[in-house]
Amino acid sequence: MSPSHRATSGPGKFLSHPLPSRSAITACLTRAKELVGSQPELIFSTNTPATATLLQQTRTIPIVFVQVTDPVGSGFVASIPRPGGNVTGFITMAPTMPGKWLELLKEIAPRVNRVAMLFNPTTATYFEYYLNPFKAAAPSFAVEAIAAPARDVSELESVIAAQARAPNGGLIAMPDSFLNAHRAEATSLAARYRLPAVYAFRQFTEDGGLLSYGNDIVDNYRRAATYVDRILKGANPSELPVQAPVKFELVINLKTAKVLGLDVPLQLQQRADEVIE
Protein backbone atom coordinates (compact mmCIF):
# COMPACT_ATOMS: atom_id res chain seq x y z
CA MET A 1 0.00 0.00 0.00
CA SER A 2 1.47 3.35 -1.00
CA PRO A 3 2.30 5.96 1.67
CA SER A 4 -0.71 8.14 0.89
CA HIS A 5 -3.17 5.46 -0.13
CA ARG A 6 -6.84 6.23 0.42
CA ALA A 7 -9.38 3.46 0.33
CA THR A 8 -13.07 2.99 0.87
CA SER A 9 -14.34 0.50 3.42
CA GLY A 10 -17.81 0.22 4.84
CA PRO A 11 -19.68 3.49 5.04
CA GLY A 12 -16.75 5.87 4.66
CA LYS A 13 -13.08 6.45 3.93
CA PHE A 14 -10.03 5.75 5.99
CA LEU A 15 -6.44 6.78 5.55
CA SER A 16 -3.62 4.26 5.73
CA HIS A 17 -0.23 5.85 6.14
CA PRO A 18 2.95 4.07 7.33
CA LEU A 19 4.94 6.97 8.77
CA PRO A 20 8.69 6.75 7.98
CA SER A 21 9.98 6.07 11.50
CA ARG A 22 13.61 6.57 10.50
CA SER A 23 12.96 10.12 9.24
CA ALA A 24 13.64 13.21 11.29
CA ILE A 25 11.25 13.74 14.18
CA THR A 26 10.08 17.03 12.74
CA ALA A 27 9.19 15.37 9.44
CA CYS A 28 7.20 12.68 11.25
CA LEU A 29 5.33 15.28 13.24
CA THR A 30 4.53 17.20 10.09
CA ARG A 31 3.15 14.11 8.40
CA ALA A 32 1.12 13.18 11.47
CA LYS A 33 -0.38 16.67 11.62
CA GLU A 34 -1.30 16.39 7.95
CA LEU A 35 -3.03 13.06 8.54
CA VAL A 36 -4.97 14.22 11.56
CA GLY A 37 -5.82 17.49 9.83
CA SER A 38 -7.44 15.61 6.96
CA GLN A 39 -9.93 14.21 9.50
CA PRO A 40 -10.00 10.57 8.34
CA GLU A 41 -12.42 8.15 9.94
CA LEU A 42 -9.50 5.92 10.90
CA ILE A 43 -5.69 5.90 10.72
CA PHE A 44 -3.76 2.69 10.10
CA SER A 45 -0.32 2.75 11.73
CA THR A 46 2.55 0.35 11.12
CA ASN A 47 4.93 0.47 14.08
CA THR A 48 5.82 1.94 17.48
CA PRO A 49 7.44 5.25 16.35
CA ALA A 50 4.59 5.99 13.94
CA THR A 51 1.92 5.21 16.52
CA ALA A 52 3.63 7.35 19.19
CA THR A 53 3.83 10.29 16.78
CA LEU A 54 0.18 9.96 15.78
CA LEU A 55 -1.00 9.80 19.38
CA GLN A 56 0.75 13.11 20.05
CA GLN A 57 -1.69 14.62 17.54
CA THR A 58 -4.98 12.87 18.30
CA ARG A 59 -6.68 11.01 21.10
CA THR A 60 -10.03 10.86 19.30
CA ILE A 61 -9.52 9.54 15.75
CA PRO A 62 -9.43 5.71 15.86
CA ILE A 63 -5.98 4.22 15.19
CA VAL A 64 -5.23 0.59 14.36
CA PHE A 65 -1.57 -0.47 14.66
CA VAL A 66 -0.11 -3.62 13.19
CA GLN A 67 3.51 -4.01 14.40
CA VAL A 68 3.82 -2.40 17.82
CA THR A 69 6.06 -4.05 20.41
CA ASP A 70 4.88 -2.93 23.87
CA PRO A 71 1.66 -0.91 23.65
CA VAL A 72 1.12 -0.88 27.43
CA GLY A 73 4.70 0.10 28.29
CA SER A 74 4.68 2.70 25.52
CA GLY A 75 1.54 4.29 26.99
CA PHE A 76 -0.64 3.59 23.96
CA VAL A 77 -3.23 1.46 25.76
CA ALA A 78 -4.34 0.93 29.35
CA SER A 79 -4.25 -2.85 29.08
CA ILE A 80 -4.12 -5.63 26.50
CA PRO A 81 -7.73 -6.85 26.99
CA ARG A 82 -9.23 -3.35 27.27
CA PRO A 83 -7.16 -0.67 25.49
CA GLY A 84 -9.38 2.08 26.88
CA GLY A 85 -8.64 4.80 24.32
CA ASN A 86 -8.70 5.51 20.60
CA VAL A 87 -6.08 2.94 19.63
CA THR A 88 -5.82 -0.84 19.40
CA GLY A 89 -4.16 -3.38 17.14
CA PHE A 90 -1.63 -6.18 16.85
CA ILE A 91 1.68 -6.57 18.64
CA THR A 92 4.91 -7.72 17.03
CA MET A 93 6.01 -10.46 19.42
CA ALA A 94 5.83 -11.50 23.06
CA PRO A 95 8.71 -10.66 25.44
CA THR A 96 9.44 -14.39 25.75
CA MET A 97 10.88 -14.46 22.21
CA PRO A 98 14.53 -13.74 23.22
CA GLY A 99 14.67 -17.17 24.87
CA LYS A 100 13.62 -18.79 21.61
CA TRP A 101 16.15 -16.76 19.62
CA LEU A 102 18.92 -17.85 21.99
CA GLU A 103 17.81 -21.46 21.70
CA LEU A 104 17.94 -21.32 17.90
CA LEU A 105 21.29 -19.54 17.87
CA LYS A 106 22.84 -22.20 20.11
CA GLU A 107 21.28 -24.92 17.98
CA ILE A 108 22.76 -23.62 14.74
CA ALA A 109 26.04 -22.37 16.28
CA PRO A 110 26.70 -24.44 19.44
CA ARG A 111 30.08 -22.82 20.20
CA VAL A 112 28.62 -19.37 20.70
CA ASN A 113 29.12 -18.18 24.28
CA ARG A 114 28.79 -14.38 23.90
CA VAL A 115 25.65 -12.94 22.34
CA ALA A 116 24.98 -9.28 21.63
CA MET A 117 21.44 -7.99 21.12
CA LEU A 118 21.52 -5.28 18.44
CA PHE A 119 19.05 -2.37 18.50
CA ASN A 120 18.67 1.37 17.98
CA PRO A 121 17.45 2.94 21.25
CA THR A 122 15.96 5.88 19.34
CA THR A 123 13.55 3.76 17.31
CA ALA A 124 13.36 0.77 19.68
CA THR A 125 12.31 2.90 22.66
CA TYR A 126 10.84 -0.30 24.09
CA PHE A 127 14.23 -2.09 24.08
CA GLU A 128 13.96 -3.26 27.71
CA TYR A 129 10.87 -5.28 26.69
CA TYR A 130 13.24 -7.65 24.86
CA LEU A 131 16.57 -6.86 26.52
CA ASN A 132 15.58 -7.82 30.08
CA PRO A 133 14.18 -11.26 29.11
CA PHE A 134 17.27 -11.77 26.91
CA LYS A 135 19.57 -11.17 29.88
CA ALA A 136 17.41 -13.37 32.10
CA ALA A 137 17.45 -16.27 29.64
CA ALA A 138 21.17 -16.12 28.79
CA PRO A 139 22.49 -18.18 31.77
CA SER A 140 20.25 -21.08 30.76
CA PHE A 141 22.15 -21.27 27.49
CA ALA A 142 25.58 -20.67 29.05
CA VAL A 143 26.10 -17.41 27.17
CA GLU A 144 27.07 -13.90 28.17
CA ALA A 145 24.34 -11.40 27.24
CA ILE A 146 25.51 -8.07 25.83
CA ALA A 147 23.44 -4.99 24.99
CA ALA A 148 24.61 -3.55 21.65
CA PRO A 149 22.95 -0.20 20.87
CA ALA A 150 23.66 1.38 17.48
CA ARG A 151 22.14 4.83 17.07
CA ASP A 152 22.78 5.24 13.35
CA VAL A 153 24.18 3.40 10.34
CA SER A 154 27.71 4.61 11.03
CA GLU A 155 27.65 2.87 14.42
CA LEU A 156 26.46 -0.47 13.04
CA GLU A 157 29.88 -1.59 11.86
CA SER A 158 31.72 -0.59 15.03
CA VAL A 159 29.16 -2.38 17.21
CA ILE A 160 29.23 -5.56 15.12
CA ALA A 161 33.03 -5.48 14.78
CA ALA A 162 33.36 -5.19 18.57
CA GLN A 163 31.39 -8.39 18.99
CA ALA A 164 33.75 -10.18 16.57
CA ARG A 165 36.97 -9.24 18.38
CA ALA A 166 36.80 -12.31 20.60
CA PRO A 167 35.93 -15.83 19.36
CA ASN A 168 32.54 -17.53 19.68
CA GLY A 169 30.44 -14.39 19.42
CA GLY A 170 26.91 -14.18 18.05
CA LEU A 171 24.19 -11.63 17.36
CA ILE A 172 20.46 -11.27 17.85
CA ALA A 173 18.77 -8.40 16.02
CA MET A 174 15.91 -6.94 18.03
CA PRO A 175 12.66 -6.18 16.15
CA ASP A 176 13.33 -2.55 15.28
CA SER A 177 12.19 -0.34 12.39
CA PHE A 178 15.74 1.07 12.09
CA LEU A 179 17.29 -2.40 11.65
CA ASN A 180 14.55 -3.40 9.26
CA ALA A 181 15.27 -0.35 7.11
CA HIS A 182 18.99 -1.18 7.17
CA ARG A 183 18.81 -4.96 7.08
CA ALA A 184 21.10 -5.18 4.04
CA GLU A 185 23.86 -3.44 5.99
CA ALA A 186 23.23 -5.50 9.14
CA THR A 187 23.28 -8.88 7.39
CA SER A 188 26.32 -8.05 5.25
CA LEU A 189 28.29 -6.84 8.28
CA ALA A 190 27.41 -9.99 10.23
CA ALA A 191 28.68 -12.06 7.30
CA ARG A 192 31.82 -9.95 6.87
CA TYR A 193 32.75 -10.40 10.53
CA ARG A 194 31.66 -14.06 10.47
CA LEU A 195 29.14 -13.72 13.25
CA PRO A 196 26.21 -16.15 13.45
CA ALA A 197 23.10 -14.02 13.79
CA VAL A 198 19.40 -14.57 14.44
CA TYR A 199 16.78 -12.13 13.18
CA ALA A 200 13.09 -11.61 13.92
CA PHE A 201 11.82 -11.39 10.34
CA ARG A 202 12.27 -13.47 7.20
CA GLN A 203 13.31 -10.44 5.11
CA PHE A 204 16.67 -10.53 6.88
CA THR A 205 17.27 -14.16 5.93
CA GLU A 206 16.21 -13.48 2.36
CA ASP A 207 18.83 -10.69 2.32
CA GLY A 208 21.58 -13.08 3.43
CA GLY A 209 20.99 -13.41 7.16
CA LEU A 210 21.65 -16.81 8.75
CA LEU A 211 18.34 -17.56 10.47
CA SER A 212 15.09 -15.79 11.28
CA TYR A 213 12.24 -16.69 13.57
CA GLY A 214 9.26 -14.48 14.24
CA ASN A 215 5.70 -13.64 13.42
CA ASP A 216 4.34 -13.66 9.89
CA ILE A 217 3.98 -9.92 9.24
CA VAL A 218 1.57 -10.43 6.35
CA ASP A 219 -0.74 -12.41 8.61
CA ASN A 220 -0.79 -9.53 11.10
CA TYR A 221 -1.85 -7.18 8.32
CA ARG A 222 -4.63 -9.54 7.25
CA ARG A 223 -5.94 -9.75 10.79
CA ALA A 224 -5.67 -5.98 11.28
CA ALA A 225 -8.01 -5.48 8.32
CA THR A 226 -10.78 -7.10 10.36
CA TYR A 227 -10.35 -4.47 13.09
CA VAL A 228 -10.41 -1.68 10.52
CA ASP A 229 -13.67 -3.07 9.16
CA ARG A 230 -15.24 -3.47 12.60
CA ILE A 231 -14.34 0.07 13.71
CA LEU A 232 -15.65 1.61 10.49
CA LYS A 233 -18.89 -0.27 11.14
CA GLY A 234 -19.20 1.24 14.61
CA ALA A 235 -17.03 -0.78 17.01
CA ASN A 236 -15.15 1.17 19.68
CA PRO A 237 -11.34 0.65 19.60
CA SER A 238 -11.25 1.01 23.39
CA GLU A 239 -13.16 -2.27 23.64
CA LEU A 240 -11.23 -4.28 21.02
CA PRO A 241 -8.44 -6.28 22.73
CA VAL A 242 -4.87 -5.90 21.52
CA GLN A 243 -4.02 -9.13 19.71
CA ALA A 244 -0.83 -11.22 19.76
CA PRO A 245 0.58 -12.96 16.66
CA VAL A 246 -0.73 -16.44 15.92
CA LYS A 247 1.44 -17.42 12.96
CA PHE A 248 5.24 -17.75 13.17
CA GLU A 249 7.87 -18.78 10.63
CA LEU A 250 11.40 -20.17 10.80
CA VAL A 251 13.66 -19.49 7.81
CA ILE A 252 17.25 -20.73 7.43
CA ASN A 253 19.80 -19.61 4.85
CA LEU A 254 22.06 -22.59 4.13
CA LYS A 255 24.28 -20.52 1.82
CA THR A 256 25.13 -18.21 4.70
CA ALA A 257 25.63 -21.15 7.05
CA LYS A 258 28.16 -22.63 4.62
CA VAL A 259 30.06 -19.34 4.41
CA LEU A 260 30.21 -19.25 8.22
CA GLY A 261 31.37 -22.86 8.35
CA LEU A 262 28.25 -24.03 10.18
CA ASP A 263 26.72 -27.46 9.73
CA VAL A 264 22.97 -26.94 10.17
CA PRO A 265 21.42 -29.95 11.96
CA LEU A 266 19.02 -31.88 9.76
CA GLN A 267 16.37 -31.78 12.48
CA LEU A 268 16.52 -27.98 12.51
CA GLN A 269 16.21 -27.88 8.72
CA GLN A 270 13.16 -30.13 8.88
CA ARG A 271 11.47 -27.78 11.36
CA ALA A 272 12.01 -24.76 9.13
CA ASP A 273 9.16 -23.25 7.11
CA GLU A 274 11.68 -22.41 4.41
CA VAL A 275 15.31 -23.33 3.73
CA ILE A 276 17.21 -21.07 1.34
CA GLU A 277 19.84 -23.05 -0.57
Instruction: Report the pLDDT value the prediction gives residue 184, as an integer from 0 to 100.
Output: 96
Instruction: Report the pLDDT value the prediction gives residue 9, as an integer from 0 to 100.
Output: 39
Query: Does one domain contain both 56 and 162?
Result: no
Question: Rounded to an integer, what is the distance from CA 206 to the centroid of its chain?
Answer: 16
- What is the pLDDT of the chain when averaged over all its residues? 90
Query: Does one domain contain both 226 and 126?
Result: no
At residue 86, φ and ψ (nearest 5 deg) are -100, 10
Instruction: Report the pLDDT value the prediction gives residue 25, as an integer from 0 to 100.
Output: 62
DSSP summary character for residue 210: S
Domain membership of residue 59 (yes or no) is yes
Residues 44/53, Cβ–Cβ less than 8 Å:
no
Mind listing the pLDDT tens digit for each residue in 21-62? 444 567 778 888 898 999 999 999 988 888 999 999 999 999
User: Across residues 243-271, what is the average pLDDT?
Assistant: 97
Query: Does one domain contain both 193 and 233?
Result: no
Instruction: Find the domain containing 63 and state its range.
Output: 6-92+216-239
Query: Does one domain contain both 197 and 185?
Result: yes
Amino acid at 132: N
Query: Does one domain contain both 113 and 189?
Result: yes
Mind listing the pLDDT tens digit for each residue in 105-160? 999 999 999 999 999 999 899 999 999 999 999 999 999 999 999 999 999 999 99
Instruction: Report the pLDDT value the prediction gives residue 31, as an integer from 0 to 100.
Output: 84
Angstrom distance (rounded) from CA 71 to CA 48: 8
Confidence band, pLDDT 50/70/90 cuts, at residue 18 = very low
- Whether the predicted pLDDT of 7 surpasses 60: no
Specify the pTM.
0.85
Domain membership of residue 1 (yes or no) is no
More confident residue, 172 or 30: 172
More confident residue, 29 or 92: 92
Query: Does one domain contain both 204 and 227?
Result: no
- Whether the predicted pLDDT of 195 surpasses 70: yes
Query: Does one domain contain both 73 and 203?
Result: no
Strands 248-253 and 211-215: antiparallel
